[in-house]
Amino acid sequence: MGATKTDHFTDHQNQIAVIAKALGHPARIAIIEYLLKVNTCITGDIVNELPLAQPTVSQHLKELKNAGLIKGSIEGTSVCYCIDENTFGLLKEYFSKIILTVTNQKCC
């Protein structure tokens, strides 16, 4: 079986790409911003906040969770979502290095 294009990149590069792809939709950004504001909530709370149907919100939550940006715990018949601080720590480290490098270098 042939190698996929992602096999030519490091695990870290692939991980950042997965996270960036998950952040590539405004509804997902809105979900993250809402979770930052309320700390934790259930799907129904997010559905009430966004102009999207429940199945659509659930799909966006799934993408965010698969990328490690949010985590969820089962509480009764609901899932309570919150930000996954570990993944955002990884993003902070990644973008801090970029910002530091760009700030210190002279471009053409």
**Whether residue 3 has pLDDT greater than 80:** no
Question: CA angle at residue 51 from 48 to 53, to 5 degrees?
Answer: 75
**Residue-wise pLDDT tens digits, 11-60:** 999 999 999 999 999 999 999 999 999 988 899 999 999 999 999 999 99
- Averaged over 78-106, what is the pLDDT? 92
Task: Give the pLDDT score at 94.
Answer: 96
18: left (phi over 0), alpha (psi -120 to 50) or beta: alpha
| 56-84 tens-digit pLDDT | 999 999 999 999 999 998 888 888 999 99
Helix residue spans in 1-108 (DSSP H): 11-22, 26-38, 43-49, 54-66, 85-104
Q: What does the pLDDT average to over 95-106? A: 89
Please tell me the pTM assigned to this model: 0.86
pLDDT at 1: 46
**CB-count burial class (<10 Å; 0-12, 13-18, 19+) for 69:** buried
Q: What confidence score (pLDDT) does residue 2 get? A: 53
